[in-house]
Amino acid sequence: MDIKTSIRTSIFTFLSSHVAHTPLLTVRYRLLSMLNEIGKVGTTARHTILLPAIQQWTSLPANEVARVCATEKVEVVKLDQAYLRAITARDQPGLVYLVSVASGETGVRPSLLGTVFERLRELWPALKSNEQQPLAKHLLGLSLSTSSEAGSQSRASEAIGTLRELQLSTEVLISIIDSLPDALTTQEQPPAAKRRRTSKAEMVKFNTKDTEELMYLQGLVLGGLSSIVNGLKDAGAHKIDRSVIRADLIVDCVRSTPNPQIHNSALLLISGLASYAPDLVLHSVMPIFTFMGNTLLRQSDEYSAHVIDQTITRVIPPLVESLRRKNQDVVAGAAELLLSFTTSFEHIPPHRRLRLFSHLVTTLGPEESLFAVMAMLVERYHSTEKLVGSPVGYFIADLMALFEPHTNLTAASKFVDVIIDSLQPKRALSEKILSVNESSPSHIETTAVNLLETLSELLKNPQFSRKLATALQQDEATATSLRETFCDLWGKIIRLSHDTVGHDQLQFVSANATSVLLELLPTADFVECAVILLENRDDKLRRDILKSIEIRVSLEKHGDARSRRVLLDFLPRITDIIQSTSDVPLKYTALACIDQISDKYGKKDSDAIASAARVVADLQALGSDNDPIRVMSLLCLISAVEVLRDEFIPLLPQVLTTALHYIDLSTRKDSSNEKLHNAAFALVGSVLEHIPYMFSGKYLDTILRLSHKSANAGLSEEANDNRAHVYQLAAKQLDAKECFAAIKRNWDGATKQGYAALREHLDMLNTALTRHPKSVVIRNSQTLFSLFIKAFDLRHACAVDSLSNVYDDEQMENLEALINEIAISMTLKLNDTAFRPFFVRLVEWASEGLPKKDKRGRVLRSTSLFVFLEAFFDRLKSIVTSYSSYMLVHAVHILQNTSFDVAEGQTLLRAVLGALARSLQYDEDGIFLTHNNTYVSFRKALTHSQTSGKAPPTSLPSPHLSSSS
């Protein structure tokens, strides 16, 4: 239906009025979408009704707009677009309003800026040429603005983006060019032929004329040249005269303008030119990247990021190829380039850092450049804060995580190269990538410490360890490559440790780095790396390698089957070193390594341990004249005994004889060595524990003799404990008959060595008696009786052998108390049938065992007897009162025939009276009444001795009367 224009105008006005006044956003949006499809009939209503509505809407606060749109579930962007599309190319006031918003003259919500420029781009094709020209100049002015006002940078970025998208007609371009100052009138006139062309070089001369039109013209020229260069890639290189290409002018253009858009255009041109003719731009590469570090890298917009990516992608590969072609080190040649990036690190927007540096490292070659980037960042930022745990530290870890484990190990190895180089008198690569030139030695050392400390922390990253373990399981070729690279790194850190002796901090961080490497690889791979490094003939290096293996094995908790197999297969290599080297520290470490492996995994392969034990037991190790080697050999053989047990028997004669010899040596005053002493005793203890049946009487006699000697050597508490442990094992593990006989055979030797030796000898006896049951004690009672006769004769033996000065009174009393206690313990395991004959024998031994003329000997023996009897009756009480009858006659004889005016006599009298008092005290069955005549004789003798002054006054209890009496 054909509606008249006046009616359509009225309808448009009516609906526009509803847009302006309805509170419902959904209604507004649908009405605007419909009205925006209508042409010129709505011109008046657009001016008078819709434009004020647009202005009112765009002036609302962002939070208010968001609230009302959220309430009615209308998208803010779509509603904004609907409002601005109400402005058409014929709507002159509307266009003026859009330009004022774009230029910042009219304040609107910041989020509207992009929509405004989008509407201008949509309206551009519908504008007449005379309308496009002022708009283009206005956009040019916005794009070249250097204002510091809020939002000016966003407006400039939108303006330049809009200009790039618009199709600029000839008339528009001419109007822009006509607005430029005349270069030929602002400078001295050149010849007429030259005036007929305006070259790129002449455009650069305008750098003194800082006008918006000039900068835009530069942008146009650079953009045009970029298009030309990109088109040249498909043309034959021989068709182009390269002599006219002036890369230096592009660099000058970059340097001469502050405008970021010109920078971007120039860098894109350089990038394109590098792809086409790299040799023409290589000499200008470093100034370009230095400039980027100071400007472009700090920008946060995506277009700047694109320009940087293009520059890296196109400029760096030809640079790398050129350096390689000249046999130059890539990092050394690109050090200035890398410095531009690392120096600007803190200014680069955080969200762009990782992508930017990964692109840079990937383009240069990660295995060649990653270490340099790491080193530069560590050196620059470690001085201000501890790098580990800092943003820079996390960044380096994240950067390493982007690359394969092999790349990271290579980077770590080269990283250590830089540290080593920095500590040399004549430095090479470190001077290019570190600021150590003309630095003091202390500053260089601090830098090296910081670098190695940070590397250790980076290698401790659990994520890296997991990735490395996974890579080692992929295929043998990959695993071999990884192990070789790890070996290279490991060897360098060890050499660094050797070269920095005397520098405490460097020594500390080197040791820490070694500790980190210990835990980096799975055990099996770690050992295989050690095999590679042990091929080196440097004894210091081999020593540290074996020390690392020793520590690694000691830290293992539950090794897998592969680790166990590799370590056990590693033993022959260690024994080869023991047999071939004369270096004592290396041999010692090799023995310690065998000890750890044997202790941890020996039971899984006894044959491997037996082979190693044979080497250790030989002259190169156990038979060495070096005490530390002897000690370590003994410790190693202890582990072998625990593992092999019966399989160790073929080595036992040689090993045990040598160990006993070392105990003898270590207790001599002129060659005392407690470590050797303790190790030898520990070996003897291991044999007693695991193969006691091989410990013959000859060996037992020797070890007891040496133990007595050791006890008298005044050694430390640790040595005493080791010796006591052997005594305990011998008492518990050996056959009772052999044990009791050996104690008896060696009693005299123990007595001559003094209190400590005899005390330990008695402790062994006590342990053996406690350990064995009654049946065994009864079976060996005759040997024990003979032994105790010797023990009770201690007082007399000391007097006879002139040992009185060896034991003081207190020591003698202590020993007698111990002997008596042990004798009573033995008694408790005997029956009356076995013990009574011994008791009778004991009394006869004291009363008649010596000639009558040996009065002193009889006094000493009798003293020992009655001291025992006092303890005997006191401990066993009425159970043994019947044994009193055997002593009464001897007691009467003593009172009648002994002089008590000497100390020994008085001691005997106290012992006799004490024994009789204890016997009477517990005589509950009236045993003394049965032997009343003897008891009466005793009391008469006692009274006579007291009356004559032979004995001091004393009293005895009366015998108990039984109920029958």
Which range is least confidently modeled, 152-156, 431-435, 500-504? Answer: 152-156
**pLDDT of res. 482:** 93
Q: Band of the pLDDT at 344, cuts 50, 70, 90?
A: confident
Q: What percent of the chain has pLDDT over 90?
A: 38
- Six token digits for residue 295: 């400007």
**pLDDT of res. 965:** 33
Report whether pLDDT(71) > 70.
Answer: yes
- Over residues 719-737, mean pLDDT: 94
Mean of per-residue pLDDT scores for the chain: 84
Q: Band of the pLDDT at 951, cuts 50, 70, 90?
A: low
Sequence-separated contacts (24+) of 737-740 with Cβ below 8 Å: 737/779, 737/780, 737/783, 738/697, 738/700, 739/700, 739/764, 739/768, 740/765, 740/768, 740/780, 740/783, 740/784, 740/787
**pLDDT of res. 452:** 93
Q: Band of the pLDDT at 418, cuts 50, 70, 90?
A: very high
- Over residues 214-236, mean pLDDT: 70
Q: Under a CB-based contact definition with an 8 Å cutoff, are residues 229 and 281 in contact?
A: no
Between 233 and 776, the higher pLDDT residue: 776
* The most confident of 30-39, 283-292, 558-567, 815-824, by mean pLDDT: 815-824
**pLDDT of res. 193:** 43
Which range is least confidently modeled, 14-23, 197-206, 376-385, 474-483? Answer: 197-206
Q: Band of the pLDDT at 661, cuts 50, 70, 90?
A: very high
**pLDDT of res. 823:** 95
Residue with tokens 């996974």: 470
Report whether pLDDT(209) > 50.
Answer: no
Report whether pLDDT(862) > 90.
Answer: yes
Q: Under a CB-based contact definition with an 8 Å cutoff, are residues 423 and 444 in contact?
A: yes
**pLDDT of res. 555:** 83
**Cα 701 from Cα 485, distance rounded (Å):** 58
Report whether pLDDT(210) > 50.
Answer: no
Helices marked H in 388-538 — which ranges?
Answer: 391-401, 405-422, 429-433, 441-459, 462-472, 476-499, 504-518, 523-533
- Over residues 170-181, mean pLDDT: 73
* The most confident of 210-224, 257-271, 564-578, 915-929, by mean pLDDT: 564-578
Between 769 and 250, the higher pLDDT residue: 769
Between 236 and 403, the higher pLDDT residue: 403
Helices marked H in 277-390 — which ranges?
Answer: 285-294, 302-325, 330-333, 335-343, 350-364, 366-382
* The most confident of 8-22, 99-113, 207-221, 850-864, by mean pLDDT: 850-864
Question: Closest Cα to residue 770, out of 704, 826, 693, 689?
Answer: 826
**pLDDT of res. 963:** 38
Q: How far is CA 677 from CA 32, 701, 750, in A?
A: 104, 18, 19
**pLDDT of res. 376:** 92
What element of type H or E holds 894?
helix 885-897
Q: Band of the pLDDT at 332, cuts 50, 70, 90?
A: confident
**pLDDT of res. 809:** 85
**pLDDT of res. 470:** 92
Report whether pLDDT(956) > 60.
Answer: no
Which range is least confidently modeled, 648-657, 797-806, 866-875? Answer: 797-806
- Over residues 516-539, mean pLDDT: 88
**pLDDT of res. 748:** 92
For residue 470, which amino acid is it? T
**Read out DSSP for 721-762?**
HHHHHHHHHHHHHS-HHHHHHHHHHTHHHHHHH-HHHHHHHH
**pLDDT of res. 192:** 42
Report whether pLDDT(185) > 50.
Answer: no
Q: Under a CB-based contact definition with an 8 Å cutoff, are residues 483 and 525 in contact?
A: yes
Neighbour-count burial of 190, counting CB atoms closer than 10 A to its CB (0-12 exposed, 13-18 middle, 19+ buried): exposed
Q: Band of the pLDDT at 133, cuts 50, 70, 90?
A: confident
Which range is least confidently modeled, 221-225, 339-343, 835-839? Answer: 221-225
Report whether pLDDT(242) > 70.
Answer: no
**Cα 162 from Cα 135, distance rounded (Å):** 11
**pLDDT of res. 62:** 85
Q: Band of the pLDDT at 146, cuts 50, 70, 90?
A: low
Q: What percent of the chain has pLDDT over 70?
A: 86
Report whether pLDDT(659) > 70.
Answer: yes
- Over residues 292-303, mean pLDDT: 71
* pLDDT (tens digit per residue) in 744-755: 999 999 999 999
**pLDDT of res. 650:** 95
Between 635 and 49, the higher pLDDT residue: 635
**pLDDT of res. 37:** 80
* pLDDT (tens digit per residue) in 664-682: 999 887 767 899 999 999 9
**pLDDT of res. 372:** 94
Question: Closest Cα to residue 417, out of 428, 426, 406, 425?
Answer: 428
Between 833 and 197, the higher pLDDT residue: 833
**Cα 365 from Cα 486, distance rounded (Å):** 20
**pLDDT of res. 265:** 78
- Over residues 4-33, mean pLDDT: 85
Q: Band of the pLDDT at 213, cuts 50, 70, 90?
A: low
- Six token digits for residue 420: 């080593």
Q: Under a CB-based contact definition with an 8 Å cutoff, are residues 870 and 912 in contact?
A: no
**Cα 762 from Cα 818, distance rounded (Å):** 8
